[in-house]
A and B are shown apart, each in its own frame.
Chain A
Amino acid sequence: MVDRSGVAVSWSRHGGADCIRLAGLAELAGLELAARVRIHPVSAVALGTAPPTAGRLLRDGPDTCFVPRFPFLDGTAYVVTVDGAAVAELTRAGADEAATTEVLAIHPSAATVPRNLLRSYVWFSAPMSEGYAAGHVRLVDDAGDVLAGALLATEQELWDAARRRLTVLLDPARIKRGLAPHREAGYPLRSGAPFRLVVDDGFRDARGRRLRAGAERRYQVAGDERRHVDPHTWTLRVPHVGTAEPLQVGFGRPLDHGLVARCLRVVGPEGRPVDGVADVGAEERSWRLAPRQGWACGPHRLVVDPVLEDLAGNSVGRVFDRDLARRTDDPRGARPVTVTFHPR
């Protein structure tokens, strides 16, 4: 782009970095380059007094290169000003790549959830960008209307370290009994009224691309779940000694997808953990452990971390909101709970 000033401005490279190259910039004695050449995002120009974009102005033969302190952003337009006059506007091309990222899973995977459901998880096939969850994940009823205020708005989204699993919380203030929001607005969900968790394709992956397609999961809504998670009521299918048959554990109700994967372990007769491959079963209602080596004789312990929760946030150690008048709601301590079994 050549302006009346005779300065040609273009995207270029300098010293291994992206830059804006200015050709034909006449030298003016006694004036520093930094005082003559300014770069601003177009969107900031109207402010008049916005600071110029940070970067270095470097001589490259007859040309001048602006190397920004932070990389240029795709899709952003920049204005180049020389001696107070705008000489060019350049737009950084957006990444025009095909969408490849998709939603792999939405948890809970149970078809029916309690009315006081607390948490969902969305798994993506690639790392995602932050800042899109509030606008692109929602709960809707069968008519497609959004359940307003059902999800908790958090400023900092809840991701795993790889930015592939998003945790979505339903507004706990509307679930907890007795609180003003619960009395004023009621539960986010209604028993008997199905709903869908919807992720639309506007959610951006870490490279800024849309999703290949939106995704959703539909749920039926049952009554409330307010009991502790109680490992002593679980059913165990005990394997045979010397085999690598899996130990199978049935929970009797769906448990939290995120927690069940890490809250269970098996300790052998000598006090060492049994190494193997653990799987979570359908609807997060069961768990099994296939050992790497055959099962030993003697007492084994299934050790349950008391933070293990069900879909409504009731854990082994405490119920989600404890009715102080009900003895069965009393906390059960912060120590691991063990269930002993003997391979047959």
Chain B
Amino acid sequence: MTEYGLRVGRAELGSAGPITFGPAGILFLADNATATVFAVDVSDPGRTAGSGPFELADVDARVGSLLGADAADVAIRDLAVHPDSGNIYLSVQRGHGESAQAVLVRIDRADASISEVPLTDVPVASVAIADAPAPDDERVDVVLPLGDEGEEITVGSRTIRILRRPIRTSTVTDLAYVDGALLVAGLSNEEFSSKLRRIPFPFTDAADAAGNNLEIYHVSHGKWETAAPIRTFVPFDGGRAILASYTCTPVVHFPLAELAPGTKVVGRTVAELGAMNQPLDMVSFVQGGEEYLLVANTSHGLIKIARRDIDAQAPLTEPTEPVGVPRETADLHGITRLANLDGEHVLALQTDPDGRRHLRSLKSASL
């Protein structure tokens, strides 16, 4: 793992966030509490479990059982499938508040056994993803503290207590690895902008690690141009393109090759998913030799879009229905996370009407 810059150490997670696999079975884990992305060698047992669907009912209660917690105290933040073994990795937050702990869990594809993945004494690398100010920027974020934190300063006749600490944070909403770079989408707790970071991997020094900040805009109906944070995205077309969905729901296509630092990129809006609906996750899969994209939503069922339709879709310029690329909506609700299980199945995390969570396989050929 040294060729990827990993050294034996500890991935000290403050919170469980999005995860995705990179090269050589390295798992990237975003930690929003410490504004860090870790790269961890998960030492996957590595036996290939063969194909076939994978189903596991009450996955939250089962994971909770291992962690000594009720299902209500377990939040499954993301899932990823090891590209070789098919083992399933879950990014899990156990407990709330002070007692909350971030845990990485592996579910064995062959026998559905559940185990904790060690994050101590493992090959690890990390990169900070905070919006660090430029080195020549002497500003500090000064806030009036609420208790007795901070330092006292005197100005004229007034003595006040101030706290020099950034309160701006950047929350990672999605991650993907493409051709030697980790793409990181984030949501700021202050400014409303669209930033996609491209961080070279292996991680290099701090300056490089800040990555390219790519500003991506989209135009609605040829009339209004906006920036918005990307909520979920998926590379497709062999990593040549990105399909992204925004907090404001348009699905936007942009070619990766156009993403150069300092350039403003205007994506092509290819679909709108409608009101009172938020896209949650996307995955690309192959059916009958053609590539499709599958979008999980808060209120719509799964939406399936063909790559050829994305390629053929002119930018949306008229507010007419239906909006954008042809799509099929499967009557599958409650799906919050998607991952490719193997060439024939997409793995879905589904919440049923009782609030129980299940892992289930969707046959690619039938989607």
Residues of A within 8 A of B (CB): 39-41, 43-44, 47, 49-55, 68-74, 76, 78, 104, 118-119, 123, 125, 127-131, 148-149, 152-156, 158-162, 164-165, 167, 169, 171-174, 176-185, 204-208, 244, 256, 258-259, 261-262, 265, 272-273, 276-278, 290-292, 307, 309, 313, 315, 318, 320-325
10 residue pairs from A and B, CB less than 8 Å apart: A47-B65, A52-B65, A73-B68, A129-B96, A130-B97, A156-B173, A273-B139, A276-B155, A292-B153, A309-B192
In angstroms, Cα B276 to Cα A315, docked, is: 26
Known: A128-B97, A206-B97. A262 touches B71 (CB 8 A): no
Do the beta carbons of B73 and A73 come within 8 Å of each other? yes
Do the beta carbons of B64 and A44 come within 8 Å of each other? yes
Contact of A262 among B66, B94, B139, B147 (CB under 8 A): B139
B162: nearest chain-A partner, CB-CB? A277
Contact residues in A for B138 (Cβ distance below 8 Å)? 272-273
In angstroms, Cα B100 to Cα A70, docked, is: 10
Do the beta carbons of B248 and A54 come within 8 Å of each other? no
Known: A43-B61, A181-B274. A261 touches B141 (CB 8 A): yes
Contact digits for B158-185, partner A, Cβ 8 Å, 1 yes 0 no: 1010100111110111000000000000
In angstroms, Cα B95 to Cα A72, docked, is: 10
Contact digits for B131-147, partner A, Cβ 8 Å, 1 yes 0 no: 00000001101110011
B62: nearest chain-A partner, CB-CB? A50
Do the beta carbons of A176 and B226 come within 8 Å of each other? yes
In angstroms, Cα B310 to Cα A247, docked, is: 54
Q: Which of B2-10, B41-49, B202-210, B216-224 contacts A (4 or more CB under 8 A)?
A: B216-224
Chain A's nearest CB lies how many Å from the CB of B228? 6
In angstroms, Cα B99 to Cα A71, docked, is: 8
Do the beta carbons of A40 and B190 come within 8 Å of each other? no
In angstroms, Cα B190 to Cα A40, docked, is: 42
In angstroms, Cα B165 to Cα A256, docked, is: 18
A157: nearest chain-B partner, CB-CB? B171
Contact digits for B227-261, partner A, Cβ 8 Å, 1 yes 0 no: 11000000000000000000111100000000000
Contact residues in A for B61 (Cβ distance below 8 Å)? 43-44, 47, 50
Chain A's nearest CB lies how many Å from the CB of B170? 10
Do the beta carbons of B65 and A178 come within 8 Å of each other? no
Known: A44-B61, A158-B169, A174-B275. A76 touches B224 (CB 8 A): no
Do the beta carbons of B167 and A161 come within 8 Å of each other? yes
Do the beta carbons of A53 and B275 come within 8 Å of each other? no
Contact digits for B104-136, partner A, Cβ 8 Å, 1 yes 0 no: 000000000110100000000000000000000
Do the beta carbons of B68 and A323 come within 8 Å of each other? no
Do the beta carbons of A176 and B169 come within 8 Å of each other? no
Known: A47-B62, A154-B187. A277 touches B225 (CB 8 A): no
Known: A50-B62, A73-B95, A258-B167. A158 touches B116 (CB 8 A): no
A50: nearest chain-B partner, CB-CB? B65
Known: A130-B96, A181-B248, A323-B224. A119 touches B65 (CB 8 A): no
A279: nearest chain-B partner, CB-CB? B144
B366 interface contact, C-beta 8 A: no
B160: nearest chain-A partner, CB-CB? A277
Q: Would you list the 10 A-B pairs with minimal beta carbon distance, nearest first?
A: A129-B97, A206-B97, A44-B65, A181-B275, A50-B65, A178-B220, A173-B248, A160-B167, A184-B275, A158-B189
Contact residues in B for A207 (Cβ distance below 8 Å)? 97-98
In angstroms, Cα B248 to Cα A320, docked, is: 12
Do the beta carbons of B156 and A244 come within 8 Å of each other? yes
Contact residues in B for A320 (Cβ distance below 8 Å)? 192, 226
A128: nearest chain-B partner, CB-CB? B97
Contact of A41 among B64, B101, B153, B223 (CB under 8 A): B64
Do the beta carbons of B96 and A40 come within 8 Å of each other? no
Known: A41-B68, A180-B249, A313-B192. A131 touches B96 (CB 8 A): yes
B289 interface contact, C-beta 8 A: no
Do the beta carbons of B68 and A129 come within 8 Å of each other? no
